[in-house]
């Protein structure tokens, strides 16, 4: 009984498989009939449209190729900075800020006092030294008078003179220290930042300067360029400095290309001195440097979107030719060099005067009849 059930199951399974296979064959036969019907309709329509058997021409547009200059640029993002952009800190060990004499945005001159530091201790020491100097000077004058009269010892005279001179030197040193208890601007410029506040300690050892002074009478653009371009970029190369926030572009030349590669990010510094202009620059403003690294004064270049790619043949374009009185599209295999701003330099496959097809080229095939 068990064998009967097993055999019945096998028979049902084979029948089901056979049924599926039969459905597939029936569907295939149906599709073939539909294909034949559609092909017949297409043939009839073609004969009605072109009773003489001619092929309809495809409409295209073309441009005549001519040689012209081609330039390639490297684009890197950089920043604008003043030619003099410095942080100012106390010249001595520092002290507590007692007075700030300028505000952010003020124009300052070289040597102008920006802030005063607490110098009360130094001033007290100065008063003490002045008293000592007065006493030492009186003793010296007395000893000198006695020495001139050949009275007393030379040692007493020299000691009195030494004490007086030591007090004088101490006063001079303290005066210099008191002078350094103020913070002065070393350059002409504008006060851009004042991180320090009255009552805080200002020190030359602090990582944050007390003031930031910027002189934008001479501005520059700076950028860190990848090591891969180190052999292509040199001082004097042409560069376009574009400031997107101002929608302004300046044509300049590189004034400095560093020979030092930063080991941290593998870049080198490029600087561009900006010509005088009415543009209002600001420190750290974004600047895009477009550095020219290649130029060909006379070559063929075409828009990149005209170029198509074939797995078997490589890159190609279509040009318009006239053959036996007909306008024909011909495929041209090309070799290219570099692309910039949507244009590609073509180094082989095209000649000056060729009619490159610029519209309708996507659906063309080699030898197709065209019209324009």
Q: Is residue 199 part of a domain?
A: no
∠ CA 181-214-76, rounded to 5°: 140
> Could you tell me if 221 and 247 lie in one domain?
yes
Q: How many domains does the chain have?
A: 4
Domain end position, chosen among 268, 296, 324: 296
Q: Is residue 200 part of a domain?
A: no
Given a contact cutoff of 8 angstroms between Cβ atoms, the answer to whether 294 and 274 are in contact is: no
Give the model confidence (pLDDT) of 41-61 as tens digits: 765 665 555 555 555 678 889
Report the pLDDT value the prediction gives residue 300, as an integer from 0 to 100: 94
Q: Measured between alpha carbons, how far is 95 from 152 in angstroms, rounded to an integer?
A: 47
> Could you tell me if 261 and 288 lie in one domain?
yes
Q: Is residue 233 part of a domain?
A: yes
Give the model confidence (pLDDT) of 16-26 as tens digits: 555 556 677 77
Q: Is residue 250 part of a domain?
A: yes
Looking at the predicted structure, is the pLDDT value of residue 68 above 90?
Answer: yes
Q: Is residue 205 part of a domain?
A: no
Q: Is residue 201 part of a domain?
A: no
* 8 three-class SS: helix
> Could you tell me if 230 and 260 lie in one domain?
yes
Give mean pLDDT, residues 187-210. 86
Share of the chain above pLDDT 70, in %: 89
> Could you tell me if 348 and 362 lie in one domain?
yes
- What CATH number has the domain bearing residue 256? 2.40.30.170
> Could you tell me if 325 and 238 lie in one domain?
no
User: pTM for the complete prediction?
Assistant: 0.55
Give mean pLDDT, residues 227-236. 90
Given a contact cutoff of 8 angstroms between Cβ atoms, the answer to whether 289 and 221 are in contact is: yes
Report the pLDDT value the prediction gives residue 50, as an integer from 0 to 100: 58
Domain that holds residue 364: 58-67+298-371
> Could you tell me if 228 and 307 lie in one domain?
no
């Amino acid at each position: 009984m068990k064998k009967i059930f097993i055999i019945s199951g096998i028979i049902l399974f084979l029948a089901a498989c056979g049924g599926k296979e039969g459905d597939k064959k029936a569907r295939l036969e149906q599709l073939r009939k539909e294909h034949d019907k559609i092909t017949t309709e297409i043939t009839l329509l073609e004969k009605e449209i072109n009773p003489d058997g001619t092929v309809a021409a495809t409409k295209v547009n073309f441009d005549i190729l001519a040689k012209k200059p081609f330039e390639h640029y490297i684009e890197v993002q950089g920043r604008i900075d003043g030619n003099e952009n410095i942080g100012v800190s106390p010249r001595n060990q520092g002290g507590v800020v007692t007075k700030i004499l300028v505000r952010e945005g003020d124009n300052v001159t070289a040597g102008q006092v920006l802030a005063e530091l607490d110098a009360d201790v130094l001033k007290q020491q100065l008063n003490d030294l002045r008293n000592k100097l007065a006493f030492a000077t009186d003793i010296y004058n007395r000893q000198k008078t006695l020495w001139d009269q050949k009275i007393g010892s030379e040692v007493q005279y020299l000691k009195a003179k030494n004490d007086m001179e030591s007090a004088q030197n101490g006063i001079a040193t303290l005066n210099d220290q008191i002078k350094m208890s103020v913070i002065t601007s070393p350059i002409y410029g504008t006060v851009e930042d004042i991180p320090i506040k009255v009552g805080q300690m200002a020190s030359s050892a602090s990582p944050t300067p007390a003031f930031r002074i910027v002189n934008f009478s001479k501005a520059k653009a700076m950028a860190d360029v990848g090591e891969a371009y180190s052999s292509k970029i040199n001082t004097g190369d042409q560069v376009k400095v574009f400031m997107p926030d101002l929608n302004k572009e300046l044509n300049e030349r590189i004034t400095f290309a560093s020979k030092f590669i930063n080991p941290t990010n593998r870049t080198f510094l490029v600087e561009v001195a900006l010509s005088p202009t009415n543009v209002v620059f600001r420190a750290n403003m974004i600047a895009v440097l477009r550095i020219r690294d290649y130029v060909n004064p006379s070559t063929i270049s075409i828009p990149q979107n005209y170029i198509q790619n074939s797995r078997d043949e490589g890159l190609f374009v279509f040009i318009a030719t006239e053959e036996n009185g007909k306008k024909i599209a011909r495929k041209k295999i090309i070799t290219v060099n570099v692309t910039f701003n949507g244009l590609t330099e073509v180094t082989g496959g095209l000649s000056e005067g060729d009619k490159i097809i610029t519209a309708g080229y996507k659906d063309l095939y080699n030898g197709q009849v065209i019209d324009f």
